[in-house]
Amino acid sequence: MGGPGSSPCASCKLLRRRCAKDCIFAPYFPPDDPHKFAIVHKVFGASNVSKMLQELPVHQRADAVNSLVFEANARVRDPVYGCVGAISYLQNQVSQLQMQLAVAQAEILCIQMQQEPNLQSHHQILELDQDDKILLLHNNIDNCNNNSNNNLGYAMSSGQFNSNFASPSSMMQMQMQMQDPLKQESLWT
């Protein structure tokens, strides 16, 4: 927190003003990380950030600042697509994995049917597999899409997302930065 005797926060340093005791930026923009506020100020503007933080309860402001910093960094790295490039890349990754999963699930079903001892003859089992493999594959793809997209549907539809946003350059950039999609904490580093 800023005030007499203590160092002004990064925001007040950049804005060249006195850092008040109740400075709204001070808890989230310490003086030892000037780049953090600089980038948020460049993309959103200090007054917009201040308004956004004022509209939030105090316990949610740290997360809001971190997400704003993430978006600002993405926008500076990719001025055309920003975070939308990352979303498009991840969506493609989800689709590819769902396809691979559908294929694997169809294969395991076929193997299980081949090993099922209760069918009438071995020859009939083979014929059944030939006919049903494609059907099972299509059914599994539909099931995978229905199960996985329910959680994302509300989020994607609310933003009217257009999957045609991705550009190769943004995909390559985000691929390098999202090599560890398993850790959500990487969003905040």
**Shortest distance, CB of residue 58 to other proteins, whole angstroms?**
12
- Give the span between the Cα atoms of 71 and 75, in whole angstroms: 6
Q: Residue 38 Cβ, how far from other proteins at the closest point, in Å?
A: 14
For other proteins, give the closer residue by CB, 2 or 85. 85
* Phi, psi at 153, each rounded to 5°: -55, -45
Contacts of 119 (CB under 8 A, 6+ apart): 113, 125, 128
Min. distance of Cβ 6 from other proteins in angstroms?
28
* Cα Rg of the chain, angstroms: 25
| Integer CA distances (angstroms), 176 to 99, 169, 180, in order | 23, 11, 9
The footprint of other proteins (CB under 8 A) covers 42-45, 47-48, 52, 55-56, 60, 63-64, 67-68, 70-71, 75, 79-87, 90-91, 93-94, 97-98, 100-101, 104-105, 107-108, 111-112, 114-115, 148, 151-152, 155-156, 158-162, 165, 167, 178, 181-182, 184, 187
Q: Looking at the chain, list the stretches that DSSP marks H as alpha helix, in order from N- to C-terminal side.
A: 10-15, 34-43, 46-54, 58-77, 83-114, 122-158, 168-177
**Nearest CB to other proteins, comparing residues 38 and 90:** 90
- CB 36 to other proteins: min, Å: 15
**Of 5 and 54, which has the nearer Cβ to other proteins?**
54
